[in-house]
A and B are shown apart, each in its own frame.
Chain A
């Protein structure tokens, strides 16, 4: 889906736990999620820490949206 969004001209970043699948289906901007059942969360830590983790993940995602890329890129 993210590829189709990008096809209309909108930069789109996929936060996805299984990066090889994201690469295979053709997503251009990929950020590794934390886990399949909680891509932007971590139930094993305290709430405050979890929000920081989520914010950092989003910062990475926003950086991906602002990056000029020529090919599929996994943003670390």
Chain B
């Protein structure tokens, strides 16, 4: 088999420079392998040749990504490698993000195949798994021995352009790509067999894991509604006409806050929906049908509650990643709490 020329990316620890105290070191490069790189060479009996090793401190990489990336791309391109190998990063979050980001850049900007590996909880996984093959690791360096051969096998397949198997077979994180496969038995048979196993208390493997949602203890109720500040929040995507802050119609990357302190009503001339997941006709005609400002204002004037908060928060809850939505909810909750809001009415489409 041909040799594979590899450029290897490591952090300050695996680059054998130091621990947390050296996490601020800027990028440096050395010819040949270091540490884990040597292991890769040994494991492959010299077939994978680490021609250059790039080392960067985890903090430096995290804080100076825009400067670090072009420098690393230059160092990689200079030696024309067949493969860019980052880490493995295991559970080290800053390292994982650096690995994922550098791999993506090398792959997308230099067209050189890249591979990395990390633990499922590493934020680097979410950052890069759609664009990259990331091998799943355990959370400790003890897993190195198992991970290196897995990375090599997958890297070889990528280089040889041979068909790559399903995530479970090859050991990488699912990339969100749907592939049609022909099953041996038809769905009805598989469903009945799974049900029979469940009924007999035998082990079974689900074809689609159903997400588990945790429960939160109810917060104490509003104490005195007549004095309470109540806020409106929506995931129905009601935004000023033109969607000036460009909330996406699908998998929103953000939430926004808009002033309504001087408004009694939302009109179709001034507002619209940005949500791509429901028929927008009714909301565009009268946005109060999703964000009930007019009725809230009337109830406020009647004294039913103390005050309507001067702003509303909005995002688009259409194929929004659960982790994103949870983050938005948490941040919005904290911001409202800080601003003296005592109760929240949240509308959902």
Of the candidates B215, B295, B328, B344, which one forms a contact with A10 in the assembled complex, judged by CB atoms under 8 Å apart? Answer: B344
Is the CB–CB distance between B345 and A61 below 8 Å?
Answer: yes
Is the CB–CB distance between A43 and B285 below 8 Å?
Answer: yes
- Select the stretch in B13-21, B229-237, B239-247 that faces chain A: B229-237
> How many interface residues does chain B have, given as a range?
35 or more
> How many interface residues does chain A have, given as a range?
35 or more
B-side contacts of A13, CB under 8 Å: 343-346
Q: Does A74 contact B (CB under 8 A)?
A: no
Is the CB–CB distance between A1 and B295 below 8 Å?
Answer: no
A-side contacts of B341, CB under 8 Å: 10
Contacts between chains A and B (CB distance < 8 A), count:
188
- Within residues 6 to 59 of chain A, which ones have a CB less than 8 A from any CB in chain B? 6-17, 22, 24-26, 28-29, 33, 36-43, 51, 54-55, 57-59
Is the CB–CB distance between A62 and B289 below 8 Å?
Answer: no
B-side contacts of A67, CB under 8 Å: 221
Is the CB–CB distance between B345 and A15 below 8 Å?
Answer: yes
Q: Does B213 contact A (CB under 8 A)?
A: yes
B-side contacts of A22, CB under 8 Å: 348
Task: Known A1-B325, A1-B329; judge A11-B346 contact (CB<8 A).
Answer: no
Is the CB–CB distance between B283 and A14 below 8 Å?
Answer: no
Is the CB–CB distance between B347 and A39 below 8 Å?
Answer: yes
- For the complex of A and B, list the 4 residue pairs with the smallest distance between their C-beta atoms, beginning with the closest: A41-B289, A4-B329, A1-B329, A5-B333
- Residues of A in contact with B (beta carbons under 8 Å apart): 1-17, 22, 24-26, 28-29, 33, 36-43, 51, 54-55, 57-59, 61-62, 65-72
A-B contact pairs, 18 of them (CB 8 A): A1-B315, A2-B348, A3-B329, A8-B334, A9-B333, A12-B233, A15-B348, A16-B347, A16-B348, A17-B348, A38-B282, A41-B292, A43-B285, A58-B295, A58-B296, A62-B230, A65-B345, A67-B221
